[in-house]
Amino acid sequence: MKETHKEKLAITNKDSLRRRHAGNYKPIDNGERYLLPYEVHLRNQPSDFFKQLSDYDFLKPSTTDKALTFAGLRKELDCLGDLDSGTGFWKNFNESALTRYLNSILGTTQKKRGWKQVYIKKGKETDADKPHHNDMLRCVYLLAHLHKASSSFIRQLEEENDVWSTDLRVYYPRKDFAFSEEYAGYLSELYANMLFYQPDKIRRLIKCLDICIEKLIRHADSDWVAPFLQHRTKDTAPPSLKILKYNQIASITHFSALNKYLQDKVSGLFTPTSFAKLEANEKDSSGLKISATAQQYKLVAALCMRILLPSPLREVNGSWVSEGADPITCQDMELCINAVANALAADALNQLKIESDGTKSGKRDTSIPAAIKKLAEQNPQTIEEILRIGSPDVASVPELYSFYLRKRSEYALAKAHCSGDLKKSVLLNIPPTPLAVIESMQPNPNTKKVLDYIRGNSLDKISFDIEELERGLMMEHLRRGTVPKVGLIYQFVFQYLPPRV
């Protein structure tokens, strides 16, 4: 076996790949939020590690005197075939992954030509004709090894508007089924390799692109953002960065689908006595059997309040204080928790059921009560402790349920505000009315505008626009005599990162 193949052959084994990408993220203050565990590992490797890699590996330093060819790539990938039976690897990989899904990801099918015709040099074509020839070959080299580990990875990478895909992400994968961690490993491999030699501004933009899109959608009509959303430039990015850009855009579409799925499920009726009825039902042996206890529902109601606030709370002079939010009196906090508990209890009594397609790869016994029980068991056991924790642990329940809890809580708090039970200041950034909560879950017309901007510009141009936006906002703060601790999108501070292991 060639020495140059060993590094990438490790990821063709799913268990090895998960171990390779296990561990905690490292906070970084250059705006990109975090370093992946494998990125930290790579930064500590000696130069000999990189020299022994295949010339088709993203991690191998580029050399101007070495010509990469499609034929050479095919030869490099021979080791992925079944050597005992003589079964080749390339034909299946090309037809089931590259032609069907990679063309879609890169948008090459829209040009009536495939990735090979668009990016790979042929005959007397030069670097000027196909400037991303080498990058494309390296993409295929990396994707081939990931495809060997899982033939479903590239298919899943191409998915858009998929509720289940909210559970599949590079950042904090679910812990309760293997494919979530496995898929996070595939994405981590892509990001660690494809961004390794990129400048900080591109690393920062790619890693924060999901946040960037969300913030731009929220502020698309503002005087700061609206003008540059009209910009259009030629997208000259290499295919590797287009793949990462596509992945971040797809992530936004998955959450849009999740909002659409849940918007008619978070508005159920509840009363100030719903939780009391759940408690009475628990004590009545002939009543409805619910797997989670009433106390667990109350604890998760407190957890919902912690999720809605930007940072851990501390009790000061009769109020709960969270940095970046207005203080909430202890009395108002109790009213908030009771409102959320009543809403969750009513759903339990009404036997509300929601299901994610993701259970086909996870556990079929997951339900709202089961999720409530698990969340209560894996987080601190008193309301006060829950409010003080750094980051709630929700990684062992499907995103469907944690997102339901967030939006159901927002709905309950908005209703409590409209009824006069709560002051407006308690609600922070939560929509002010129940109707506004539901409207916030409907398709936002600004989404298309922002995604058209992201798709229609080079990464250099997007990076320039975002940095100009951040600079302008900073100068405005200085003019007003206020100093922002973080930017709208890029956060040049060390962040608190909850442990993964």
Do 216 and 74 belong together in one domain?
yes
Look at residue 500 and tell me if it is in a domain.
Answer: no
Q: How far apart are the C-alpha atoms of 369 and 292, rounded to whole Å?
A: 5
- The number of helix segments (H) and strand segments (E) in the chain equals 23, 5
Q: Tell me, yes or no, whether 114 and 170 share the same domain.
A: yes
In-domain check, residue 487: no
pLDDT at 2: 45
Q: Is the pLDDT of residue 219 over 70?
A: yes
Among residues 425, 441, 457, the one where a domain terminates is 441
Whether 483 maps to a domain, the answer reads no
In this predicted structure, the answer to whether residue 172 has a pLDDT above a threshold of 90 is no
pLDDT at 365 over 80: no
pLDDT band at 427 (very low <50, low <70, confident <90, very high): low
| 237, 284: one domain | no
| pLDDT at residue 70 tops 90 | yes
Place of tokens 């002939």: 286
Q: Which of 157-161, 230-234, 445-449, 473-477 has the least mean pLDDT?
A: 473-477
Quick one: 288 and 355 in the same domain?
Answer: yes
The reply to whether 398 and 429 lie within a common domain is: yes
Q: pLDDT tens-digit profile of 375-426?
A: 999 898 899 999 998 888 888 888 889 999 999 999 999 999 998 887 766 6
Q: 27 has which bridge partners? A: 34
How confident is the model at residue 426, as a pLDDT?
A: 67
**308 and 174 part of one domain:** no
Residue 65 reports pLDDT greater than 70: no
The verdict on 163 and 92 lying in the same domain is yes
Task: Report DSSP state, residue 77.
Answer: G
Q: Does 282 share its domain with 381?
A: yes
* pLDDT greater than 80 at residue 366: no
Q: How many domains does the chain have?
A: 2
Q: Does the residue 267 lie in any domain?
A: no
CB 366 within 8 A of CB 398: yes
Residue 486 in any domain: the answer is: no
Nearest 5°: phi and psi at 2? -70, 140
Which of residues 394, 421, 441 is at a domain's end?
A: 441
Q: Which of 196, 230, 262 is where one domain is finished?
A: 262
Domain that includes residue 193, residue range: 3-262
Which percentage of the chain shows pLDDT scores above 70?
Answer: 92
Q: What is the pLDDT of residues 197-218, one digit of tens each?
A: 999 999 999 999 999 999 999 8
Report yes or no on 397 lying in a domain.
Answer: yes
For the chain, give the mean pLDDT: 89
What is residue 88's predicted lDDT score, i.e. its pLDDT? Answer: 77
pTM over 0.85? The answer is yes
Q: Number of C-alpha atoms within 13 angstroms, CB side, residue 28?
A: 18
Integer Cα distance of 258 and 114 in angstroms: 32
pLDDT in tens, 282-293: 887 666 778 899
The percent of the chain in helix, strand and coil, each rounded to the nearest 5, is 55, 5, 40
Question: Does a structural domain hold residue 323?
Answer: yes
**C-alpha angle 94/97/101, rounded to 5°?**
125
**Is residue 114 located within the same domain as residue 205?**
yes
Does one domain contain both 333 and 195? no
As a whole number of angstroms, the distance between CA 373 and CA 367 comes to 10
The H or E element that residue 51 is part of is helix 47-51
pLDDT band at 3 (very low <50, low <70, confident <90, very high): very low
**Torsion angle of the four alpha carbons 146, 152, 158, 161, in this order, in degrees rounded to the nearest 10:** -140
Q: Is residue 471 part of a domain?
A: no
